[in-house]
Structure 1
Amino acid sequence: MVTKNVQQQHHHVDVVVPVPAMVMAAMASPCPANKLLRGAIPLAFGFALGIAVAVYLIGSATPAAIPGASSLELFFPLPPPAVSANLSAVRQKQPSTPSSEVKTTTAINKSQSWPADDASGGNSTADQAAVAGGFLDVSDEELMKLAAAAPREVRAGGGGPRPKVAFLFLTRWDLPMAPLWEKFFEGHRGLYSVYVHSDPAFNGSDPGESSVFHRRTIPSKEVKWGEISMVEAERRLLAHALLDESNARFLLLSESHAPLFDFPTVYSYLINSTTKVYLESYDLPGATGRGRYKRGMSPVVTAAQWRKGSQWFEMDRGLAADVIADDVYFPVFARLCTRNCYADEHYLPTFLSIRHPSRVANRSVTWVDWSHGGPHPARFTRTEVTPDFLRWLRGGAGTTCDYNGDTTTLCFLFARKFLPNSLTRFLRFAPMVMGFG
């Protein structure tokens, strides 16, 4: 093997070195033209072969590996390092990492000033800490700490942004009613923020830049019905929304929700409300109420403090911050409210009843039909969505309620459990009944 290498090296020398010698010999001694012609043929062949060898050496080796590389560079300059690296990458056919797969984590100083959000509806703090308008991709524990450090009130005046309503969509997969919501939000940019928590296994395409749902899905985790993961998802949504200091009210919605009024009515109703939280919180005897209480929760949560209610809440910023900062009651629920406990129906009603009983309205702004019994409310198909039905819901569904000390029939701003096939009817009736679209 060594002998063969030596022979190859000598072969290269034999080809390259004689060229200058031949040139000098031809120049030194005069000769007839025919002799010059015969001598020029091997001269040209040898010179061309020498150039080919030099180019090959330059393209396949680094300067340090080529004998006499510094001399070759005078005639065949090597590409700059950056270009060399790119060429090497192309030769090896190694694809670059897509930018969408790169995760950026930026530390946030808790003592920093929390900048106001712009009119786009995006999350200002998350925009600073993640890539291109994305959200913070950190652990739940770190997320709760950051959200708990955010201001508990929206700073009014001073030319700052107007207070916004945060719409928190807790979904399984996609949002079949999204076209209706697009119509609902149209023309009111800067007065709302949108946050979506979906199953991380959902791989649907993100809507276009013109959509209010464009890149509004927060880093999510799997949620199972009736388990504590449902409450964890709610807290995750609240935490991300709290990072935007202009969010004043926080509303939890599902993929089957539909608005009953136009945006200005909903916005005014919530922003001007003196009620701190619209949430059901009541004591219910029987297996589906007190029967779900776990005795191990005492003394932190006693049986007398146990409450039940729908998970679809609406609350102000101060109470949202209290929910995020709760390190007393939530850990007890997370540890003990398992197996037929249904934490999403008991954690917030119990927590707020204990900590802020006078601030709970004990009613929801979302209408749902439980008249059929069972663990799930009634669902509504396309044919059941009619103008008369929508007007009945808008009129309080046969009930009255209190709003800022006055009795009113404007009790429900939303209704839920509408199947996807009802979308066309909503889009058809929204302009004539609900005032938008």
Structure 2
Amino acid sequence: MQTRSVAMEEGKELPMPSRTIQARVLPLKLLLFFLLFLGVGIAFIIISMLMSRHFYVDNVIIPATSNRVQPCFQEPLSFRSWIKPPSTVWHTMNDSQLFWRASFDPQITSYPFKRVPKIAFMFLTRGPLPMARLWDRYFKGHEEHYSVYIHALPSYVEDYPPSSAFYRRQIPSQVAEWGMMSMCDAERRLLANALLDISNEWFILLSEACIPLQSFPIAYLYLSISHTSYMGSYDDPGPFGRGRYNDNMAPLVNLSDWRKGSQWFEVNRKLAIDIVKDDTYYPIFEKFCRPACYVDEHYFQTMLSIQSPHLLANRSLTWTDWSRGGAHPATFGAADMEKKFFKNIIEKQKCMFHNQTSSACFLFARKFAPSALDTLLAHSFEFFGY
């Protein structure tokens, strides 16, 4: 007992300090091991992230078979998608979008594909086309050389048979009021829809009361050899011409520029694009040409006379009888349908064609009542050659 006490007093008890040193060394090793493990874990995480990103790029973003990435050579971006006509005339574009799209104009005049020029027949009507059966006879056999567009009241539902050239050819439309800018809007809408077909070269505006005076081959030849477009554009010094001019239109449109002409016209593709893309003359005519200034008789006629006078024949291809006076031309019914009547229109008129006096002046005529249809169908070959 004494020996132990002395030993303790003299510091001879050595086992206790040894255990204390070991206890201090052990946590240090654990700490180093933990830090090493943590470093390995961090390195593993970084490598995993890099490998994951690499495989995500390779397997999800790059392959052309992904459902979210469309290869650049698919059909929507093919050359054919630019030149083939729309499968339907119906669409969801508003006027601003439609006019912008229709104003596209290739600057290279030669076509890198076989293009068969077509005539676009544009019918501006309130509802049905009473002369549709006569027109179907006129069109028969010439399907590759024409296209049809109808602007009717939005509420009108067409009921033409599938065999008709007018079947499902009604474009998205709006109400057009006689003598108002909405009438020119409807005409621009027809032109814009027709311009979406790159093959349409000539654009003819017609009413529901119009009929063809010549066979289709004659009309096609007539337009194909013409160097001008057929829009009446002349200086009328009277109250129904210059008398409708508003001084507020100057200096953009001066009195010396003011022109008048028939609403019913034919224009080539260049002039059709000029009409559709116009945002210079439109605002001033909309503001200052209101009844008794009838804008459909002055807007296009004046604008094109200023911009492209050398491209206008300054006459219409649609015969109309104004001899009876009044605000509207004469209407013809069943009693008027005689060979002599049409012979006077077709053969006894005089006009300039290819800088020469000619009797080949009109391809169409108006206004014909529905009662005239049966007689026209019975004698169309005798009268018109179709």
TM class, shorter-chain normalised? Answer: 0.7 to 0.9
Q: What is the identity percentage for the equivalent residue pairs of Structure 1 and Structure 2?
A: 46
Give distance in 1, aligned partners of 2:81 and 2:249: 37
Q: Which residue of structure 2 lines up, in the alignment, with residue 421 of structure 1? A: 371
Q: Which residue of structure 2 lines up, in the alignment, with residue 381 of structure 1? A: 333
Gaps of 5+ in 2: 1-75
Whether contact under 8 Å (1:153, 1:248) holds in the other structure is no
Change in 2 beyond 3 A, CA 1:154/1:254:
farther
Give distance in 1, aligned partners of 2:338 and 2:349: 20
Q: Which residue of structure 2 lines up, in the alignment, with residue 137 of structure 1? A: 92
How many angstroms does 1:154 deviate by? 7.4
| Residues 1:306 and 2:273 are matched in the alignment | no
Give distance in 1, aligned partners of 2:319 and 2:338: 16
| Residues 1:225 and 2:178 are matched in the alignment | yes
Amino acid at match of 1:281: S
Q: Which residue of structure 2 lines up, in the alignment, with residue 408 of structure 1? A: 358
Q: Which residue of structure 2 lines up, in the alignment, with residue 351 of structure 1? A: 303
How many angstroms does 1:171 deviate by? 0.6
Gaps of 5+ in 1: 1-108, 118-123, 128-132
Change in 2 beyond 3 A, CA 1:296/1:348:
same
Change in 2 beyond 3 A, CA 1:233/1:313:
same
Q: Which residue of structure 2 lines up, in the alignment, with residue 116 of structure 1? A: 83
| TM-score w.r.t. length of structure 2 | 0.77
Alignment of 1:35-50 (within 5 A): none
Give distance in 2, aligned partners of 1:390 and 1:153: 43
Residue 201 of structure 1, aligned match among 132, 147, 155: 155
Give distance in 1, aligned partners of 2:367 and 2:313: 23
Tell me, what secondary structure is at the counterpart of 1:283?
coil
Change in 2 beyond 3 A, CA 1:380/1:175:
same
How many angstroms does 1:289 deviate by? 0.9
How many angstroms does 1:367 deviate by? 0.5
Q: Which residue of structure 1 lines up, in the alignment, with residue 133 of structure 2? A: 179
Whether contact under 8 Å (1:309, 1:349) holds in the other structure is yes
Residue 293 of structure 2, aligned match among 341, 365, 368: 341
Q: CA RMSD in A?
A: 2.0
**Greater Rg, structure 1 or structure 2?**
2
Q: Which residue of structure 2 lines up, in the alignment, with residue 248 of structure 1? A: 201
Give distance in 1, aligned partners of 2:232 and 2:169: 28
Aligned residue pair count: 311
Moved more, 362-371 or 278-287: 278-287
How many angstroms does 1:285 deviate by? 1.8
Give distance in 2, aligned partners of 1:281 and 1:352: 9
Whether contact under 8 Å (2:227, 2:311) holds in the other structure is no
How many angstroms does 1:138 deviate by? 1.4
Change in 2 beyond 3 A, CA 1:413/1:136:
same
Whether contact under 8 Å (1:171, 1:198) holds in the other structure is yes
**C-alpha distance after superposition, 1:270-321 (max 9, x if no partner):** 122111x101111112221111112221111112211111011101101111
Q: Which residue of structure 1 lines up, in the alignment, with residue 120 of structure 2? A: 166
Give distance in 2, aligned partners of 1:152 and 1:214: 34
Alignment of 1:274-293 (within 5 A): 274-275=227-228, 277-293=229-245
| TM-score w.r.t. length of structure 1 | 0.68
Whether contact under 8 Å (2:318, 2:365) holds in the other structure is yes
Amino acid at match of 2:127: W
Give distance in 2, aligned partners of 1:161 and 1:352: 27
Give distance in 2, aligned partners of 1:113 and 1:310: 38
Tell me, what secondary structure is at the counterpart of 1:190?
helix
How many angstroms does 1:142 deviate by? 1.0
Amino acid at match of 1:417: K
How many angstroms does 1:210 deviate by? 1.2
Change in 2 beyond 3 A, CA 1:153/1:370:
farther
Whether contact under 8 Å (2:89, 2:193) holds in the other structure is no
Change in 2 beyond 3 A, CA 1:230/1:290:
same
Tell me, what secondary structure is at the counterpart of 1:196?
strand
**C-alpha distance after superposition, 1:2-46 (max 9, x if no partner):** xxxxxxxxxxxxxxxxxxxxxxxxxxxxxxxxxxxxxxxxxxxxx
